[in-house]
Amino acid sequence: MQKSAAHTFHIPVMGLGFTIDTPVKVGPFGISSVVSIVDDHLVEEMREAYSKEHNLHFAPIAKTEVDFRAKRITAYLNILLTLVQDKTTTIRNQAFEPESEITRYFELLPDHAPQKADYLDMLATEDVCQKFIKQGNLRKYVVAGSIDVNIMSKVNKINYDKKGNALEKEFADALAALRGYAQSDLSSSIILSAGYNPMLYGYIETFPDFFPDTAGKLKKKIILKVSDYRSAVTQGKILAKKGIWVSEFRIESGLNCGGHAFATDGLLIGPILEEFKTNRQALMSELFEMCQKNLAEKGQNVFLLYPDMRVTVQGGIGTHAEDALLQEHYQTQGTGWGSPFLLVPEATQVDPETRKALAEAEEGDFYMSHASPLGVPFNNFRKSSSEKQRLERIEKGRPGSPCTLEYLATNTEFTEKPICTASRKYQHAKLKQLAEQDLAENEYQKAFAEITEKVCLCTGLGTSALQNFDIKPSHHQHAVAICPGPNLAYFSGTFSLKEMVDHIYGRANILNTQQRPNLFVKELGLYVDYLKKEVEKSVESMTTKQERYLKTFRDNLLSGVAYYQNLNLPTLQDMKDELALWEAKIQSLPIPQVSIS
């Protein structure tokens, strides 16, 4: 499928199920989106639901089949492709009538798009024959958005056979998911997020679609989600030495985002983008030379021309002015709008109860938690049914969740085979160990809260989609976990796809009345709060390494503030006073020193 350049934004992956079928919903209108392929059970259930809905043949892929995980993923991605292609063709052949979907396709486009200009020219044409000719030319512009997929690189659980023997590494979760994508009919991109996994990166080499064809083109592309420039350079070189080209660096704010939050060492998004802007051409040249050399040494086809290397950004964008700043000043090629689309039923799978709670939520309902079994900070929602269920289980004396899917089972503290820290089995063992330590009451309660804060994400992040299709979950868990970013606090209600797209392109304003800080200031505030908590955690057990880390973190924040203060951009003048206040807070935050006896 050709990737549409019609829109300047994409919809990032959200949870396991919130964007599980977003390509079917928005792809035919030229909007690219990202699907999670972590949960092959959810993928299989969605494939069955869509097969029934569209009268397509469905042959179940049982867990007893060899390589069932990869096969399920391939089959689901292929059905998404079929549905998106069919709907796009239908739209392309429609009449240009006021309420038709082809009219909607062009109305959604940004006003500066050449396709939009040609569309408006067609509307203004009075000659019937000329109008018909121009309509025929417009139909060629109707191209679907890209069906991209996401893999969290380090979520790579080893799997076992019926006898409890570990399977070969190719059947680990991340590698099987990559294989499922690689063997699909898609021509799109796979986003690798959450860090470097040498086993996964090496496995990419085994699939020809990631290498240039005889025309020097890529059927499948690599996108790296990164939080700073150094990470982009390091990972880009690792792949280039394998002859693998990175087609896009997708920069995400470390904290001003949804889902898992991977904090940088106090590096802020503005200075990070500036570094990409300054060094992008040099990086592109270096990686291209390295890639071409290794392709030639492997006997592979080489690129005939420089392939695209896009830089896009996502995390906390909330206004058209911010979107324009990121693309115009920092010369990015696109932006990601995630959490606000949770309020758009036409785009995402959120159950009615959860969507209503999100639509009515206040700023304090969105918070950074330690709920993820991965041990990574996780954006959480206080009013989710998952959080309610967690508290009820604690009150009943049965904290923890049944662990049925085991995607995040990584702990071997009490067992030989890894288990999940959100599981009832782990929390029971950990709380028993805690009770034997004879701690003071305040210390006990603090440790108890840390253990029981973990929740099941494997089921909770996919339940909404099943509920919307009236599918009874095979894991029998019905609570919904959801992970919006803090930016969602400034959107209230539910919106149509047109309303949200019009907001992105500056044709409407759907923000609520809460005072919303500029995205740079918001991120800075989140980082200052993060640093404050890190300092508080380290007071009683400060090490030289920790002291150095905290000082570097603080220095990077102050350097970032200075960078913003020196930016001479009219759209940022209003944030100068706020920056001064945050600078004072940072400078007044004492970093404890290691005591020398």
pLDDT in tens, 248-281: 999 999 999 999 999 999 999 999 999 999 999 9
Alpha helices, DSSP H only, in 299-436?
Answer: 320-328, 352-359, 385-395, 424-435
CA-wise closest residue to 462 among 18, 155, 11: 18
What six digits make up the tokens of 36? 């999670």
Interatomic CA distance for residues 309 and 327, integer angstroms:
15
Residue 77 and residue 27 in contact, taking contact as beta carbons nearer than 8 Å: no
Q: How many residues are recorded in the chain?
A: 597
| CA atoms lying within 13 Å on the CB side of residue 539 | 8
Burial environment of residue 437 by CB neighbours within 10 A (0 to 12, 13 to 18, 19 or more) = exposed
**pTM, to two decimals:** 0.95
Whole-angstrom CA distances from 475 to 361, 402, 425, 460 are 29, 9, 16, 11
- Residue ranges in the chain modelled with pLDDT below 70: 1-5, 475, 595-597
Diameter of the chain measured on Cα atoms: 91
Rounded Cα gap, residues 185 and 78, in angstroms = 6
- Beta-carbon count within 10 A of 136 CB: 10
Return the closest-CA partner of residue 483 out of 260, 254, 264: 260
Q: How far is Cα 238 from Cα 100, in angstroms, rounded to an integer?
A: 48
Phi then psi for residue 520, to 5 deg, are -65, -45
What confidence score (pLDDT) does residue 391 get? Answer: 96
Residue type for position 81:
L
Residue 162 neighbours by CB distance under 10 Å: 6
What CA–CA distances, in Å, run from 418 to 160, 403, 426, 430, 544? Answer: 11, 12, 10, 14, 32
With contact defined as beta carbons under 8 Å apart, do 245 and 216 qualify? no
Tokens of 150: 């996401």
CA separation (Å) from 577 to 44, 154, 322, 514? 52, 41, 18, 19
Cβ atoms within 10 Å of 365's Cβ, excluding its own: 17
Dist. CA 167–CA 432, nearest whole Å: 32
**230 near 249, Cβ under 8 Å?**
no
Report helix angle 497-504 to 101-108, nearest 10: 20
Q: What does the pLDDT read at residue 542?
A: 82
